[in-house]
Amino acid sequence: MTLQPGESLTTHNFGIQIDGVGLEYLQSISGYKTTQDVIELKQNSANGQPIIKKMPGGRQAGEVTVVYGVTHSTAFTDWHKLSQNGNMGAARKNATIIFYDTQMNPVKRYHLTNAWCSNVVPGDVKAGEPNALTETATIVYEDLVPE
Maximum alpha-carbon separation in the chain = 75
Picking from 20-24, 56-60, 67-71, 121-125, which range would have the lowest pLDDT averaged per residue? 20-24
The pLDDT of 117-131, averaged and rounded, is 91
- Model confidence at 55, pLDDT cuts 50, 70, 90, reads very high
Record the pTM.
0.80
pLDDT digits (tens, 9 = 90+) for 26-47: 899 999 888 899 999 999 999 9
Q: 119 and 80 in contact (C-beta within 8 Å)?
A: yes
The CATH number corresponding to 14-146 among 3.90.550.10, 1.10.287.3510, 2.30.110.20, 3.30.1330.10 equals 2.30.110.20
**What single string gives the DSSP state of each residue in 70-113?**
--S--HHHHHHHHHHTT-HHHH-EEEEEEEE-TT--EEEEEEEE
Would the pLDDT of 144 be above 80? yes
Tell me, what's the pLDDT at 9?
A: 65
Q: Give the mean model confidence (pLDDT) for residues 99-123.
A: 91
Q: Which of 6, 3, 26 is nearest to 15 (CA)?
A: 26
pLDDT-derived band at 139, boundaries 50, 70, 90: very high
pLDDT of 1 strictly over 90: no
Phi/psi of residue 11, each to 5°?
-100, 5
Residues 7, 13: Cα–Cα separation, whole Å? 15
Q: What is the average per-residue pLDDT within 58-65?
A: 93
The mean pLDDT value of the chain amounts to 89
Beta bridge partners of 43: 51
**In angstroms, rounded to a whole number, what is the distance separating the alpha carbons of residues 3 and 112?**
25
pLDDT, residue 3, reads 61
